Amino acid sequence: MDTKEVLGSSENEECKIDSIAQSWSVISNAGDNNKKYIAMESLENYLINKEVGIIKLLDPPFEKSTLEPGYIKAYLPGVRENGGQYTHAAIWAIIATAMLKLNNKAQEFYRMINPIEHGKTKELIWRYKVEPYAIAADVYGASNLLGRGGWTWYTGSSSWFYKAGIEYILGLKIENGILRIEPCIPKDWKEYRIRYEYKTSVYNISVKNPNESETGEVKEFFVNGQKIEEKQLKLIDNGRIYEIEVVL
């Protein structure tokens, strides 16, 4: 039942900030331009724990206040949606960061929540306690459970993680059969490659960054050695191999 109570406000004792509202102000393009950056800065300041490697859903967690947000309050503080990392939302935060062209941060946060980062040492494995090769739907965010992985082998989160990496960091965008490259990579990335199969055709894409671009703006776009002024390509199902070179 809607009680008209305000959630996610600085005036609240608990849940002063919720990452979904911050991220989707950017993803939906509903937020004012200047406020989008403020929203993501607040998300980084209050919800990202770089030492543990998590992006929390909300903070502080629900525990003692009279607010009734629904079933998530039944979880212990810091567990799952109640102040832990709910990985769907963590990835939306990364996508929003990439959309604002905060290139270094987007790649840093993407790497940070990669499960392999939780398994680099014996100490990290003992804290994480789940598989370091499968996305966890949630990672706990408080007290003695801090940094422990929750529900693993969760395809929703893994699909979003894949989408964030391929589409928003490497920048492979395909809409209405048109291929474009809109990367959000750190400026010290010199080059990367993508092999994309479209039905019977193969597109080998080489993205080069000789000038350490900070914006990821495409300067030149070549297909089989021919410069394409539109800097995009219509996909064709003809069994051929296409060599694409993109220069930032």
- Domain end, chosen from 149, 169, 189, is at 169
**Same-domain status, 233 and 133:** no
**Same-domain status, 60 and 80:** yes
**Same-domain status, 33 and 137:** yes
pTM of structure? 0.93
pLDDT at 205 (0 to 100): 98
Tokens encoding 107: 């790649």
- Domain end, chosen from 169, 191, 223, is at 169
**Same-domain status, 47 and 158:** yes
Residue 1 included in any domain = no
Residue 8 included in any domain = no
- Domain end, chosen from 138, 169, 200, is at 169
Q: What is the CATH number of the domain that holds 29?
A: 1.50.10.10
Q: How many domains does the chain have?
A: 2
**Same-domain status, 162 and 182:** no
pLDDT at 93 (0 to 100): 98
**Same-domain status, 54 and 165:** yes
pLDDT at 74 (0 to 100): 83
**Same-domain status, 118 and 230:** no
**Same-domain status, 132 and 33:** yes
pLDDT at 147 (0 to 100): 95
Integer-rounded Cα radius of gyration of the chain? 20
Residue 7 included in any domain = no
Residue span of the structural domain in which 225 resides: 177-247
**Same-domain status, 213 and 234:** yes
**Same-domain status, 57 and 148:** yes
Residue 9 included in any domain = no
Residue 12 included in any domain = no
**Same-domain status, 158 and 209:** no
Q: What is the CATH number of the domain that holds 220?
A: 2.60.420.10
Contacts of residue 84, defined as CB under 8 A and 6 or more positions apart, other chains included, come to 54, 56, 57, 61, 75, 78, 138, 139, 140, 141, 142, 150
pLDDT in tens, the chain (248 residues): 566 777 767 777 778 899 999 999 999 999 888 899 999 999 999 999 999 999 999 999 888 878 777 888 888 888 898 899 999 999 999 999 999 999 899 999 999 999 999 999 999 999 999 999 999 999 999 888 999 999 998 778 999 999 999 999 999 999 999 999 999 999 999 999 999 999 999 999 999 999 998 888 999 999 999 999 999 999 999 999 999 999 99
pLDDT at 9 (0 to 100): 72
Residue 11 included in any domain = no
Buried/exposed 109-132: b ≥16 CB within 10 Å, e otherwise: bbebbebeebbeeeeeeebbebeb
**Same-domain status, 71 and 151:** yes
Residue 97 included in any domain = yes
Buried/exposed 21-47: b ≥16 CB within 10 Å, e otherwise: ebbbbbeeeebeeeebeebbeebbebb
pLDDT at 65 (0 to 100): 78
